[in-house]
Amino acid sequence: MSCRLQDKVAIITGATSGIGEATARIFAAHGAQLVIAGRSKERGEALVESLTEQYGARFMFHAVDVGREAEMAGMVDACLTKFGRLDCLFNNAGAGERSSVESVTEEEFDRVMRLLVGSVTFGMKHAARVMKSSGGGSIINNASIAAHRINQGGYLYSGAKAAVSHLTRLAGVELGPHNIRVNAISPGAIATPIFWGGSSRAETLSDDENAGKMAKLQGNLAKATPTPRSGLPEDIAYTALFLASDEGSYINCQDIIVDGGRTAMFNERS
């Protein structure tokens, strides 16, 4: 297998489960040195141990609250201390919510916008200051099909992901002259435990219970797209791999929808 990220250094937020974990494993297999960033020290260190056993000592875990600028800056600085450079940042961390126009609260607004928009804003800010001095890099933001169609997520979630999509374009224009490419990926319905409460909830269930829920979920999602299977975390991870690699060096300011064709099935009233 070719190592498409050989000698490159990447940070992945939300890397201890779901799309983030799948991306970490694929980046590692392609030669990257990685900062695995997330909230769960236990899961993060377990993933570092697993990858180190397979590929050698080129990984570290960094605990971070992505909604806090100081912690995002500290994450980037920790990467520099460990590896000396930063070539790719995947702003992946996030969570769903189900607000509506009339139900939204001030507390919920602050929490969702800080998590989904603030993390991307400050991740890009601090990655850019490092990438400028080293000749460039790739920033990838996790958006969503909820940014493009209604009824694909909660009110605040959808608005926040639309902001991520547009901030991606704005940042790509500003940073492009410094050889920093900024792109987004908009996943469709990807089969992860987030559908039944996230990784924390999954840890309370047995392997058989989780496997049963995943099989049922994948069956349902397979019926929701023209492509006759559910989306998997690896589908997003391989898209991120392409954008992070030199093969994606002329792609900038794009929001790539990876949804098996789901958005093509909906009009604006769906």
Specify whether 238 is catalytic: no
- Give the C-alpha separation, 240 to 235, whole Å: 9
12, two tokens? 């992945």
> How many angstroms separate the Cα of 43 from the Cα of each of 48, 217, 232?
9, 23, 20
Q: How far apart are the first and last CA of the chain?
A: 42
Contact 122, 37 (CB under 8 A): no
Specify which residues 9 forms β-bridges with: 33
Contact 143, 164 (CB under 8 A): yes
> What is the phi/psi pair of residue 139, to 5°?
-110, 130
Contact 243, 181 (CB under 8 A): yes
Q: Which candidate, 124, 118, 80, 72, places its Cα nearest to that of 60? A: 80
Contact 27, 244 (CB under 8 A): yes
226, two tokens? 């023209």
Specify which residues 255 forms β-bridges with: 184
**Order of strands, sheet of 33-38, starting from the edge strand that comes earlier in the sequence:** 59-63, 33-38, 9-12, 88-91, 137-142, 180-187, 255-258
Among residues 55, 155, 157, 238, which one is catalytic?
157
Helix (H) or strand (E) holding 59: strand 59-63
Indicate which residues carry an active-site annotation.
157
